[in-house]
Amino acid sequence: MISLGSKLRPVDCFTPIADRRGAVWLDSSLSHDNSEQVSLMAADPVGEIILRHGHGTITFANKERTCDFDGILHELDLIRLSPNLRAIGFIGYEATLPDLGVIPKRTATLPDVHFFIYDRVIAYNHRKDRYSDPELASSWSHTDNVSDRQESVSSETSSELRPAISRSDYLERVMQIKHHIHEGDNYQANFTTRYESYSPLNPFTAY
C-alpha cells in the first residue's frame, strides 16, 4: 500500500463513483486483535454471479453460462485463488433452503446469491493511511459527481418498512418452532423475516 500524502478520505474517494454500476464500499475502521483496519472499494465489475431459486448464471468475459449453487461456490473458490480477480457480494439464507428440503412460500425480490467480479479493488488501510491503488483512488476522487449528495431525509423521502410475510404466517411459524423445541428436535432457533421498503432516496445518501 502507498500513501497519497494528501489525506484523501475513503468517502472522498468513493462518493464521486457511488452511482457507477457495481459500486461497493465495505467500510471498516474497527480493529480486531492484530488485524488491519481496512476498507474495500470497487466499481465497474467485469463479471457477475446471480442465483435465484436454484438457477444460477455466471457472466464473465462477455460470456454467460448457467450453473447451480455448488457451481457458484466452485467459481467463487477459483476467484479466491486468482491473483487478478476479486468477488464482492452476498449469499443469502434462502440459497441453502433447497438442501434442507424447504420451498419458500414467497418469491423474494432479491437474488439468493449475488456477487460482482472485479479486476481492480482499492483497499484503504485506516491505521497506515494508505491506499493499495493510489492512482485509481486519485482518479476516482477527481471524477465529476453527477448526483446531488446533499439530499436530506424528510417525511417525503421516508418509507414504511413492510414485512415479507403476514402476521398470521409469522405466528404460525413461531408455533412450529415452539413445537420442535418441545419435542426436543432443537433447543433454539434463529427465526428471521425479511422487511422491504421502496423509497426514492439514494442508497448512498441514506448510508
Indicate whether this model's pTM tops 0.75. no
What does the pLDDT read at residue 29? Answer: 64
Give the sheet arrangement for strand 24-26, strand by strand.
Answer: 24-26, 38-42, 122-125, 130-131
Q: Three-state secondary structure along the chain?
A: CECCCCCCCHHHHHHHHCCCCCCEEECCCCCCCCCCCEEEEECCCCEEEEEECCEEEEEECCEEEEECHHHHHHHHHHHHHCCCCEEEEEECHHHHHHHHCCCCCCCCCCCCEEEEEECCCEEEECCCCEECCHHHHHHHHCCCCCCCCCCCCCCCCCCCCEECCCHHHHHHHHHHHHHHHHHCCCCCCCCCCCEECCCCCCHHHHC
What does the pLDDT read at residue 146? Answer: 46
What does the pLDDT read at residue 147? Answer: 47
In the chain, domain spans: 10-147, 162-196
**CA 24/CA 106 separation, integer angstroms:** 28
- Cα dihedral across residues 127, 133, 138, 139: positive or negative: negative
The candidate with the shortest Cα–Cα distance to 7, out of 134, 121, 123, is 134
What does the pLDDT read at residue 153? Answer: 47
What does the pLDDT read at residue 2? Answer: 45
Cell numbers representing residue 158 in the block: 421516508
**CA 199/CA 160 separation, integer angstroms:** 9
What does the pLDDT read at residue 12? Answer: 87
What does the pLDDT read at residue 149? Answer: 47
Cell numbers representing residue 66 in the block: 448457467
pLDDT in tens, the chain (207 residues): 444 545 788 888 898 999 899 999 988 766 566 666 888 999 999 999 999 888 899 999 889 999 999 999 999 999 999 999 999 999 988 787 777 777 766 556 789 999 999 999 999 988 888 899 999 998 998 876 544 444 444 545 556 788 888 899 999 999 999 999 988 888 888 888 888 877 777 777 777
Contact 20, 42 (CB under 8 A): no
State how far the alpha carbon of 100 is from the alpha carbons of 46, 95, 103, 104, 119, in Å.
33, 10, 9, 11, 35
Give the sheet arrangement for strand 47-52, strand by strand.
Answer: 63-67, 55-60, 47-52, 113-118, 86-91
